[in-house]
Amino acid sequence: MISLFSGASGVGTFPRGVHPPEAKEYSRAASIAVLSTPDQVQIALLQHTGAPAVPTVQPRTDVVMGDMLADGKGFISAAVHASISGKTAALGVTTLPNGRHVQTIPIKAATEQPYTDAALLAEILGGDWECDSAAFEPQAIRDACKAAGIVGQGGAAFPAHVKFSPPEGKPIDTVLVNGCECEPYLTADERLMIEAPAPILVGARLIARAVGASRVIVGIEDNKPEALERMRAAAADTDVEVMALRTKYPMGGEKQLIRAMVQRTVPTGGLPLAVGVVVTNVGTSAAVARAVLRGKPLTHRVITVTGAGIREPKNVLAPIGVSFAALIDFCGGFTEDAARVIAGGPMMGFALGSLEVPVTKGTSGITILTQTEVERAAETACIRCGRCVDVCPLGLVPTRIALAARHRNWEQAERHHIMACMECGCCAYTCPASIPLVQLIRSGKVQLIKRKS
């Protein structure tokens, strides 16, 4: 069945949200470039939600690209693998952009690498992806994902094999493939959809098989016409639907996406499976295809390096564990006025304090902003204009929550549902008085959790 718009029950948008400048033009046209093998990578043992992986190799072991370095511990965890060939070193420690201190396994690169440059690109995204998803048992698909250390590449980095194991009595009917990339600047997912639609679609069908869903829909914001066209062409002879969504931030947020695509509302504090949906990022989907069909682990990902602060914005296929510094170097280095380096996009990304930090499976991009771009006007008094209320995708009252958090008025913060906030930042982006609303709410949530424990 060929279906484009037909059959999709969503309206293609969700209430409220904001329209920040898209700024995709920096890197949109740049084909995926392959990073030449770095001298060293640091594989973090905790790149995902859950428990850190436990090392399975000794220091000073020779490893080949794809070898497992550490295995997942417990159900919610994920294995990590060597992304280059070389010799491991003693465990190191690093601080990831999100502030987590984690252990790492460093690998010094060997002179001989199994794949480099064009061969690497072909190995990861090229080749024949024909398959009959019904031929794979759901458990086999989950096992392959687990063995490959696949985690969500969109943001939360939730282990895939866990996500694809719906509990008894919670039937999943739909798999939504998230190709929104609603963060300004980032174009990694867009390039992937343009250059490698086949593994994305195959991966999505395999995921549907694993969770028992009958329907697969790919959602793409309508500011990516080329990606839409390529994905539609690739999906033409399959039962996968491709749906154009209104360009709006945060369309790629799970709850917003589900609302826009299938008109269902995920309960606060609940997961998409509560409404019979599994959401997967396009990159994750391609990684699932590679893991299931070829038995290859997740060792590389596409990372956008972009912004007015970088000389040559690019979309880079890079090994997990390479340092941010190496990627910035590869893209020509900083411009004179570069001021802030962000892991991820400007709306929800983390500003880096150091560049000697490894990228992880969840790193979607590096955005380098200039001084003038990051300057905020001085904060003035709230005039209760309600703009934050008008844009909050979750229907909260950010100003009341933020000011309650600032004054440590926890009773008022909870009355206004502070814990329902997903920290998308629409409120702080919009506030005419430049009040750091989401920042106050974020720290308020942390303090509140501490108080309760």
Partner 1 sequence: MVDKPKQDNEEAPKGSTAFLHVGSSPHLSNSRLTTQRMMIDVLIGLLPILVFAIVIFRWFAILQLGICTVSCIAFEALFSAWRGKPSPLWDMSATVTGVILGLSMPWSAPWYIGVIASGVAIGIGKIVYGGLGQNIFNPAMVGRAFVMISFPAAMGAAAYLDPDGTLKIVTQATPMSVARSSATPLWPLFLGTVNGSLGEVSTLAALIGGGYLCVRRSASYEIPVGILGTIFILGGIQNLLNPDSTFTVLHHLFGGPTMFGAFFIATDPVTSPVTRRGKWIYGVSIGLIIMLIRVFSGYPEGTMFAVLLMNGVVPLINRWAIPIPVGGPVPVRAQ
| Residue of the chain from 7, 9, 21, 100 that contacts partner 1 (CB under 8 A) | 21
Per CB under 8 A, does 355 bind partner 1?
Answer: yes
CB 194 within 8 A of CB 32: no
Q: How far is the CB of 140 from partner 1 (least distance, A)?
A: 34
Contacting partner 1 within 219-258 (CB under 8 A): 255
Contacting partner 1 within 401-420 (CB under 8 A): 414-417, 419-420
| Residue of the chain from 354, 407, 408, 446 that contacts partner 1 (CB under 8 A) | 354
| Residue of the chain from 342, 359, 366, 413 that contacts partner 1 (CB under 8 A) | 342
Stretch that binds partner 1, among 128-136, 157-165, 166-174, 437-445 (CB under 8 A): 437-445
Stretch that binds partner 1, among 100-108, 189-197, 265-273, 276-284 (CB under 8 A): 265-273
Stretch that binds partner 1, among 64-72, 218-226, 236-244, 348-356 (CB under 8 A): 348-356
Euclidean distance between the first and final Cα of the chain, in Å? 53
Q: How far is the CB of 434 from partner 1 (least distance, A)?
A: 6
| Residue of the chain from 58, 134, 267, 450 that contacts partner 1 (CB under 8 A) | 267
d(CA 127, CA 419): 46
250 prior amide bond cis, ω within 30: yes
The size of the chain, in residues, is 453
Q: What single DSSP character describes residue 275? A: G
Contacting partner 1 within 75-94 (CB under 8 A): none
CB 194 within 8 A of CB 230: yes
Which residue lies nearer to partner 1 by CB, 55 or 365? 365
| Residue of the chain from 39, 270, 407, 408 that contacts partner 1 (CB under 8 A) | 270
d(CA 78, CA 452): 29
Which SS3 state, helix, strand or coil, does residue 378 take? Answer: coil
Query: Residues 319-338: x/- map of binding to partner 1 (CB under 8 A)?
Result: ------x--xx---xx-xxx
Stretch that binds partner 1, among 101-109, 212-220, 283-291, 339-347 (CB under 8 A): 339-347
| Residue of the chain from 71, 339, 409, 447 that contacts partner 1 (CB under 8 A) | 339
What is 191-259 written as a DSSP string?
Answer: HHHHH-HHHHHHHHHHHHHHHT-SEEEEEEETT-HHHHHHHHHHHTTSSEEEEEE---BTTTSHHHHHH
In the block, tokens 């396009």 appear at 282
Contacting partner 1 within 284-323 (CB under 8 A): 309
Q: How far is the CB of 291 from partner 1 (least distance, A)?
A: 31
The β-bridge partners of 216 are 175, 240
| Residue of the chain from 350, 406, 409, 447 that contacts partner 1 (CB under 8 A) | 350
Angle at 279 between CA 275 and CA 280, to 5 degrees: 165
Q: How far is the CB of 172 from partner 1 (least distance, A)?
A: 18
Query: Residues 141-170: x/- map of binding to partner 1 (CB under 8 A)?
Result: ------------------------------
Of 69, 27, 17, 83, nearest in space to 322 by CA: 83
Q: How far is the CB of 105 from partner 1 (least distance, A)?
A: 23
| Residue of the chain from 112, 170, 265, 408 that contacts partner 1 (CB under 8 A) | 265
- Locate the DSSP E strands across 259-405: 277-281, 300-306, 314-319, 338-343, 350-351, 365-370
Which residue lies nearer to partner 1 by CB, 51 or 397? 397
Q: How far is the CB of 327 from partner 1 (least distance, A)?
A: 9
Which residue lies nearer to partner 1 by CB, 3 or 409? 409
d(CA 240, CA 231): 10
| Residue of the chain from 8, 10, 17, 20 that contacts partner 1 (CB under 8 A) | 20
CB 212 within 8 A of CB 174: no
Q: How far is the CB of 269 from partner 1 (least distance, A)?
A: 4
Contacting partner 1 within 178-197 (CB under 8 A): 184
The β-bridge partners of 279 are 176
Of 199, 171, 202, nearest in space to 278 by CA: 171
- Locate the DSSP E strands across 79-156: 80-81, 86-88, 92-95, 101-109
Please report the sign of the dihedral spanned by the C-alpha atoms of residue 291, residue 296, residue 298, residue 300: negative
Q: How far is the CB of 249 from partner 1 (least distance, A)?
A: 9
Q: How far is the CB of 384 from partner 1 (least distance, A)?
A: 5
Which residue lies nearer to partner 1 by CB, 2 or 385? 385
Contacting partner 1 within 382-401 (CB under 8 A): 382-387, 389-390, 393-397, 399-400
The residues, any chain, with a CB within 8 Å of residue 296's CB and separated by 6 or more, are: 66, 124, 148, 290
Angle, helix 282-294 to helix 197-211, in steps of 10 degrees = 80
